[in-house]
């Protein structure tokens, strides 16, 4: 049975931590699901770790629908969240609702995520009122990276901290079922978590959030352009993959691959009349 938003609320009340990861394809999603991860975000971070862009801004709705469909096909238990890309929800609430609906109808995911606080609350309310669960996202909002001036911790002054708390409360009031807090000081994330009835999911926001999320390519050591400070690398798969690929090239060039066990045969007598 899939995790649902009621289960997440129960986990917060019980003090049970929520594990969330990104995934972008069927095979990876299947492994993440089998590991017992509660939430899978098909993040627009695929723009960088899958498509090779330098930010999330170029990611299109078609990109997100394509990858979300693949992830849903690989899952049975995790709640799958489709990340709404840049300019698919900012223009007006009707566009946002239409595009959120496409995620659920065309991919089979169970929820969507969008960035922004107080100014996006009316849009969140409109989407939720039509039966589509919405996860909020405040703090560092990658789609606004050009305005924010880079990947910088948010909420370090009393004024900006107060603004983030107001954003979180507005999203909860609008009906969001959870909120991602990205690059927020741990003390502020703790305060927000205590004030909200809905779960907070941290990424670079300390241990006091109700749950944590990482980009799977970062935590497995697959993305090598840079390693974010907030990431813990559980593996360094890039090194393992490079070694395997080098061994393959050597085996091909030395004629050690394919070997007999990789080869199909037939009776050579059948070839005599050819």
Residues 80 and 42 sit within 8 Å (Cβ to Cβ): yes
Which of 182, 247, 261, 268 does the annotation list as catalytic?
A: 182
Q: What is the phi/psi pair of residue 19, to 5°?
A: -100, 130
Residue 59, exposed/middle/buried by CB under 10 A (0-12, 13-18, 19+)? Answer: buried
Please report the DSSP string for 201-244 in residue order: EEESS-TTSSEEEE-HHHHTT---S---TT---S--HHHHHHHH
Q: Check if 172 is active-site.
A: no
Question: How far is it, in rounded angstroms, from Cα 213 to Cα 18?
Answer: 9
Residues 82 and 113 sit within 8 Å (Cβ to Cβ): yes
Which residues form the catalytic set?
A: 182
């Amino acid at each position: 049975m899939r995790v649902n938003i009621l289960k997440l609320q129960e986990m917060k009340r019980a003090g049970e931590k929520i594990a969330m990861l990104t995934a972008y394809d069927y095979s990876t999603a299947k492994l993440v699901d089998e590991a017992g991860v509660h939430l899978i975000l098909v993040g627009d971070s695929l723009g960088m770790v899958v498509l090779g862009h330098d930010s999330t801004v170029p990611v299109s709705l078609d990109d997100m629908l394509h990858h979300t469909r693949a992830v849903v096909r690989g899952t049975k238990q995790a709640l799958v969240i489709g990340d709404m890309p840049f300019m698919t929800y900012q223009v007006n609430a009707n566009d946002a609702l239409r595009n959120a609906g496409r995620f659920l109808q065309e991919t089979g995911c169970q929820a969507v995520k969008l960035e922004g606080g107080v100014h996006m609350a009316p849009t969140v309310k409109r989407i939720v009122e039509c039966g589509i669960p919405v996860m909020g996202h405040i703090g560092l909002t990658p789609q606004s990276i050009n305005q924010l001036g880079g990947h910088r911790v948010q909420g370090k002054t009393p004024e900006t901290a107060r603004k983030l708390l107001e954003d979180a409360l507005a999203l909860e009031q609008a009906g969001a079922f959870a909120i991602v807090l990205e690059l927020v000081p741990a003390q502020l994330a703790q305060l927000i978590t205590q004030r909200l009835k809905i779960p907070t999911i941290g990424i670079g926001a300390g241990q006091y959030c109700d749950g944590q999320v990482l980009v799977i390519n970062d935590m497995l050591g697959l993305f090598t352009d840079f390693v974010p400070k907030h990431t813990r690398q559980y593996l360094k798969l890039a090194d393992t993959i490079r070694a395997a690929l080098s061994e393959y090239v050597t085996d091909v060039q030395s004629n050690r691959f394919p070997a007999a066990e990789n080869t199909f045969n037939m009776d050579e007598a059948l070839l005599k009349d050819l």
